[in-house]
Amino acid sequence: MGKIITPIVDLERKLIADAQEQIRVERQVIVHVSISTTHSWWQIRIWPSTFLVPREGADKSKLLNADRIPFFPEWLHVFGSKHHFTLIFEGLSNDCEVFDLIEEIPQEGGFEVKGICRNQTDVYHVEIFD
């Protein structure tokens, strides 16, 4: 009998772990960023110390991944006045209604977008002008 129960228990553990991972992925926040500048050639990068900061004082959501922008210390050389990239963050707390996108760095020039209103999809489009 122990042999029959063990596979069922293992299967239940796997199903629970898979469900928890799916919930974590579904709660991710995606921020599509469009950045513009007056320069025809420039460099950008994102620091891992970039967060979504809820106005209600809940925990910050950490940056998990980025697409079309490298992480510090690497640079992306941009030719042209506009660039688009995507940031993926941990999920925000359920009670969050407004949050800020803050790149906390030890120098000037960090990305900052304040007062982003939460929506049901947790997918956002923001513009940054340099």
pLDDT at residue 24 tops 60: no
Report the chain's C-alpha Rg in angstroms. 19
Task: Delimit the domains of the chain by residue range.
Answer: 28-129
Q: Dump pLDDT digits (tens) for 34-52.
A: 999 999 999 999 999 999 9
Amino acid 29: pLDDT: 97
Q: Which of 103, 25, 119 is nearest to 69 (CA)?
A: 103
Report yes or no: 128 and 36 within 8 Å, Cβ to Cβ: yes
* Cβ proximity of 63 and 30 under 8 Å: no
Average pLDDT, the chain: 89
Q: Which pLDDT value is given to residue 21?
A: 57
Residue 113: name the closest of 98, 97, 102 by CA: 102
With a pLDDT cut of 90, the percent of the chain lying above it is 75
